[in-house]
Amino acid sequence: MRCYSFETLVSYVDGSLDISAVPAVDSHLTSGCAACGEGVEWLRKTLHAMRTDDLQAPPRETVDNVLEYFRKVHRKSFLASVRRCVDAMLLFDSSRQPEYSGVRSVQGSGKQLLYQADHYDIDLRLHPAEPSEYTHIIGQIMVEDDRFDQVSGIPVHVSAARTLLWSTLTDTLGVFYLRSVPQGRYDLKVVLLDREIDIHDVVIDKAV
Amino acid sequence: MGWAASFRAILFFRKGNFLKTDSSQLFLMTKANPYITDEELVAACLKGDEAAWEALLERYGRVLYTMALKSGLGPDDAADIFQMICFILVKNLPTLREPGKLHGWLITTAKRECWRLRRLRRIPVVALDELLEKGERLEPSGGRADLPEANLLLIEQQHKVREGIKTLGLKCQKLLWGLYYAPEPLSHQQLGRLLEVSSSSIGRLRARCLERLRAALCQMGFE
């Protein structure tokens, strides 16, 4: 028996073929026609993939961070650059501030740590997450004169006991997010073009 | 049109020609582009071509992000996973031994990073075999199990079909969108109006477009 046209096979798989024509196609396929069998199999798989397609694009701002990182890497030989290491100095820890009598406390709703290294400031906000043993860290790297181009698309590495755990990239304002960080003691490394800033001993505990 | 021009075309068409299918999903409509292989894209990326890098993100962004979502992670975590994979890829581009196998490399890296993030968060990772023994369903399991292989295969198939469709002409792209991707499939009359053809020719046009898609996927080495 002659093979069916691709158009007929599409209608057969799609369920739009005239009902009276279906038995003949069934019988042709069961007779073992390899060409039509492969066509039907391909159509079933492909139409199923199209009909069930729910692929979602990553958020635009995440893509922008990654694009900016790529730009930095290639414009300035970022990966190969020799950088000096600078330890950041803790300037402010909100949990060490005295609580004033009669003033509502902000303890328990978060903690702020402010570091400085050369002309960079690094602001870390620690917020309680769910479940309670986790903390969200929102950081921002700031530079004099708000030169955001210097602090966007910058890698920030998180490690514990000298083991690299995670890396993230800053956004266009130098902000980075470390979500649901378990309790522990962490080191952060901010990799800028000409220097690496180390922030040692960021302690995440229940007190946040 | 050379591949460099194709990148520009991708970037140009990003700004428009989208058809909205629902609040979270956009179907990219571009004029037909010759398929640029991963090897060509990686080579261009190594020369610092930003358009090539954006084309790579465009090609694999959905797969990687959706993989993370379907393995039970939330949207923020899935975005972190996507970012992490890109970060690792940039570092590894110069030493990728077989750029032609980038697809597999990315899938493996995504699986590993999803697993690692769950471990960091101390979300219990349950082996799939263990779930099967207990008779649990092989569906996305609220952060408990790794992405089931069947789901992964479907995601990869959906990705390949999308890549194939991008190489077709705009008429075929619109037709296949209207028939198979739209939340409410368009009728032949609606499609006829959209494509400015007679509604009676939609069946033939559909078969022709699917045949072209099959040939395109075959040429891309997907089938």
pLDDT score, position B118: 83
CA A96/CA A94 separation, integer angstroms: 5
Determine phi and psi for B180, rounding to 5 degrees: -120, -20
Chain B residue with the nearest C-alpha to that of A159: B120
E runs forming strands in chain B: 18-22, 25-28
CA A110/CA A127 separation, integer angstroms: 5
Contacts of B45 in chain A (CB under 8 A): 70
Instruction: Determine the residue type at B71.
Output: S
For A3, A13, A16, A43, B46, the CA distances from A25, given in Å and listed in that order, are 9, 10, 13, 15, 52
The whole-chain average pLDDT of chain A stands at 89
A105 confidence band (pLDDT: 50, 70, 90) = low
pLDDT tens digits, residue range A110-169? 899 999 999 999 999 999 988 788 899 999 999 987 788 889 999 999 999 888 899 999
pLDDT score, position B183: 84
Contacts of A58 in chain B (CB under 8 A): 61-62, 64-65, 78-79, 82
CA B6/CA B205 separation, integer angstroms: 26
Residue whose pair of structure tokens reads 């910058």 in the numeric block: A154
Contacts of B26 in chain A (CB under 8 A): 57
Spatial contact of A189 and A162, defined as CB atoms under 8 Å apart: no
Q: pLDDT averaged over consecutive 10-residue blocks of chain B (223 residues)?
A: 45 39 44 79 93 94 94 91 94 88 93 87 54 43 59 92 92 93 90 93 96 93 70
Contacts of A179 in chain B (CB under 8 A): 76-77, 80
pTM: 0.82
Looking at residues A81-92, what average pLDDT do you find?
Answer: 88
Contacts of B181 in chain A (CB under 8 A): 50, 53
Helices (H) and strands (E) in chain A, counts: 5, 10
Contacts of A56 in chain B (CB under 8 A): 24-25, 62, 65-66, 69
Q: Which of B50, B83, B154 to mutate to test the interface with A (most CBs of A within 10 A)?
A: B83
Chain A residue with the nearest C-alpha to that of B59: A57
A96 confidence band (pLDDT: 50, 70, 90) = confident
Helix, strand, or coil (residue B144): coil
Chain A residue with the nearest C-alpha to that of B119: A165
By CB atoms closer than 10 A (0-12, 13-18, 19+), residue A123 is middle
Quick check: A179 pLDDT over 80?
yes
pLDDT tens digits, residue range A29-45? 999 899 999 999 999 99
A47 confidence band (pLDDT: 50, 70, 90) = very high
Radius of gyration of chain B (CA): 19
Chain B residue with the nearest C-alpha to that of A168: B84
Helix, strand, or coil (residue A17): coil
pLDDT score, position B161: 95
pLDDT score, position B120: 81
List the structure tokens of B216.
């395109």
For A114, A203, B66, the CA distances from A106, given in Å and listed in that order, are 16, 18, 38
Q: Do A155 and B87 make contact, defined as CB atoms within 8 angstroms?
A: yes
DSSP annotation of A203 reads E
> Which chain A residues touch B if contact means CB-CB below 8 Å?
5-7, 10-11, 16, 42-43, 45-47, 49-59, 62-63, 65-67, 69-71, 73-75, 79, 134, 155, 165-169, 177, 179-180, 182
Residue B187 distance to chain A (closest CA, Å): 12
What value, to the nearest 5°, has the Cα angle with vertex B40 and ends B38 and B45? 90
Q: Which of A61, A63, A76 to mutate to test the interface with B (most CBs of B within 10 A)?
A: A63
Spatial contact of A40 and A28, defined as CB atoms under 8 Å apart: no
Chain B residue with the nearest C-alpha to that of A43: B210
Residue B153 distance to chain A (closest CA, Å): 10
Determine phi and psi for A27, rounding to 5 degrees: -70, -35
pLDDT score, position B12: 38
Percent of chain A's residues with pLDDT above 90: 68
Quick check: A108 pLDDT over 60?
no
pLDDT score, position B35: 81
Chain B residue with the nearest C-alpha to that of A49: B158
Q: Do A57 and B65 make contact, defined as CB atoms within 8 angstroms?
A: yes
Q: Do A166 and B61 make contact, defined as CB atoms within 8 angstroms?
A: no
pLDDT score, position A76: 65
pLDDT score, position B9: 40
Q: Do B50 and A169 make contact, defined as CB atoms within 8 angstroms?
A: no
More confident residue, B3 or A13: A13
List the structure tokens of B100.
């032609």
Closest CB to A73 among B90, B181, B203: B90
Q: Do B157 and A182 make contact, defined as CB atoms within 8 angstroms?
A: no
Q: Do B79 and A79 make contact, defined as CB atoms within 8 angstroms?
A: no
pLDDT score, position B147: 72
List the structure tokens of A206.
């229940």
The distance of Cα B58 from the centroid of its chain, to the nearest Å, equals 8
